[in-house]
Amino acid sequence: MSRIVTRSIAVTEWNRERPKSFWDGKEQHLVERIIDEWWEMGAWWEGEGTRRMIRIETSELQWMDIECVDGIWSIYRIWD
């Protein structure tokens, strides 16, 4: 089960163009591993472009899908 949250994050560390750590509000998350990575096409008929999606596991063993659209990173989905 998962829930879509779509909230901005501040990436603070990088590992080969992938987030290594980030802040979600006042909570810092460390990326333990990359599970998957893909590109999705937005609603092109509304002028949306592509977005980069990365499924991660944090050091707290939480799974999240994070996305990057136009250089802005967000948590898109949290897996339960």
- Residue 44 CA to residue 68 CA, distance in Å, equals 16
pLDDT given at position 73: 96
Q: Considering only CA atoms, which of 28, 17, 23, 26 is closest in space to residue 59? A: 28
One-letter amino acid of 21: S
pLDDT given at position 44: 87
Q: Which residues of the chain have pLDDT under 70?
A: none
- Residue 37 CA to residue 20 CA, distance in Å, equals 14
Residue identified by tokens 């092109």 is 44
Domain that holds residue 41: 2-79
- The number of domains in the chain is 1
pLDDT given at position 60: 95
Cα of 74 vs its chain's centroid, Å: 5
pLDDT given at position 42: 85
